[in-house]
Structure 1
Amino acid sequence: MSDSSIYTSVEEVRLAEQDCIARLNGSSNTEDGFGDFTTQGLFCPGLFDGWTCWPSTPAGEVASEPCPAFIVGFDPHRSAYKICEENGEWYFHTVFNKTWSNYTTCVNKEDLLFRQMVITVHTVGYSISLVALLTSLMIFGYFKSLRCARITVHMNLFASFAMNNLLWLLWNNLVVYRTEVVSHNPIWCKVLHVVLYFFLLSNYSWMLCEGLYLHTVLVSAFVSETKLLRGMVLLGWGLPVKFIIIYAYQRAFHPLPDSDSICWMEEANYNIILLIPVVGTVAFNIIFLCNILRVLYVKLRKQPQAGSGASRASLQALRATLLLIPLLGLNYLVTPFRPNQPGAWEFAYEMVSGITSSLQGLCVAILFCFCNGEVIAQIKRKWRMATYRPRANSCTVTTVSVRKHLYVCVYGSAPNL
């Protein structure tokens, strides 16, 4: 069977079986291993076992074929084996109660453990980030005094990250861990793939909104926050929609060879469509931040005392945004330098990529919420109100008239009655 034979649907498997039968019936020599051994004594007849086309094999010998490439976790450079018994029958496995082909050698156990470790890192990181993001959204939603255009932008950014993290967890559990889903390549896993990448793009578009909002507020003194916020919503959610539609259309209606299989896990050349908005948003944010630094520097030089509170708040927001820009773009910046597989650098690449991508949401929550001065002040205020108890000093019964007895609570000094 050819190394390039990849079966991703029932129809393709049926055609492969027909091709196998034709090869077995049409071969008249033994050079390719599909010959007729009727004149040479006992032999096991060639067959198709659902994965591999096995040639006719002399009794007492072991047939070997390349491992099927379409099975997730199988290494196509390894070989599968099938034993032809001395009586001219294929080995029968008594436990499975059927003729058995040995595909256990197809699994690269070291690579499998490595892949499982990478998935575990992603799962743990996304879970932590999701909890942090949901906590941040609850904090912003609970404290009504925090509501403003800037916080609304933060909340949209958190929502996009939370959805992205949730969808990655679903992807790992519903697709990556289920080889039968990957093999059958159902339409729903492709839809999940598209929705997942939509929210991934929205992470970057809302980071662009963060930079654009900060730039607009500092550079333009008079701006309608309502109109600005509407523009942010259109940009933050509208930009990913345009690119994801192009991406999905190209993958669905103009598929490259072997790119329409295994739930679209193969990157092929389609990732350039997703890379364009990501690189563009990171580049624009860097431009915005450079200009923001210039404006703040000029303002602080001209008015060192006036507006110090506003300048301090702007500097804090700038610091958080500045820290996030390289973090959010790190995965795509190192993508062109992905090491060869397998290789010594692949482990380091996958681990760094897994840690940075899965913990991005946590970093966003820390920088924009948990380390936000306004949020900290509101939480402290709420905590003081919840834990404050009036100090009960001396409470005495005092007769102030013949008609009335009053309990007077004294706080330092008696009231004037």
Structure 2
Amino acid sequence: MHYYQGREQILKKVRQLAQLQFNSQSIDIFPDFTANVAKARAAFTEVKKRIHNRPNDQYGLIYPAKLRIIFIGDKREFTDPDKAMEFVTYTIVASMQRSAIGVCVPEWDGLICWPQGFPGTLTKTPCPRYIYDFNHAEHAYRRCDSNGSWVLAESSNKTWVNYTECIKSPEPNKKRQVFFERLHIMYTVGYAVSFSSLLVAIFIIGYFRRLHCTRNYIHMHLFVSFMLRAVSIFVKDHVVHTSARLQEFDAVLMNNFTNAVDVAPVDTSQYMGCKVTVLLFIYFLATNYYWILVEGLYLHSLIFMAFLSDSKYLWGFTLIGWGVPALFVAAWAVVRAMLADARSPESGPLRCPLGGLNG
């Protein structure tokens, strides 16, 4: 309506009614567009033509001159026609073209969720931050062929992926390195002092015959379990410092999660000492807790079963302290060997988890 008086009367009446409805639908009445508003809305005409034939995408002009586009659930609003055209051209239209020629689909490879890859290009993604030993400033790579499929490794029928940059550790943090070196010295000295003290205690109990009794025999078994635990820690440190380089360990870790990694093959025999060390450590750690349990059982027997012979107790307690942990650790070793080592040659051996075993 272009008549000023009639338009003002209608707007005045609408303001008095507050809310105008027709067939339970609200009706909004706005003043006629000014020349500037009409010009601004007309500037979006070409943009609307570009997305007019896409039924799955919604768009509309919002008063006074704002274009709203909903593309795959993503709502965008534009007041600049050039930016709206750029979004339509490089996002919506490009998506239509990619759908026509096919793309490498996003997928999870066990370590990284790979994004969509475009035919004939190298796709890269940042090294995951949830892998502590990775170099988080670098990237992993995959290649998408011209047919829209991920390139396979030549040595196997599995997807090619390159984690070389991820397993190249950045320059070590000197403060952090000094901290762990000091920590290593502290717990080594602590275990050495504990071992020496327990050795002296065992010698004293064994030398003086007056100290020979069931209670002290149980104490000696507990002391021996702590000493063997300390020895397993020393052996673990020796195996770690004389085993393969850190990069080889990381390469093995990669083989657990990926299908094909560009790293040199690793000799599986070098991990035998590591596996034995882990097995012994877990066993001696378990005997520690079981001999502590035996101490409690012995005190309980003194109170509630005083009429039984101490010599019978000792054989039963020895079986509990050394035998029961052996059963659980043996079962764990068998399951570990069956599930972790019985794998295809391409997947490689399981990384030996020595780094965090200090008890």
Compare CA radii of gyration and give the structure with the larger one: 2
Taking structure 2 as the reference length, the TM-score comes to 0.46
Q: Which has the higher helix share?
A: 1
Higher RCO, 1 vs 2 (CA within 8 Å, ≥6 residues apart): 1
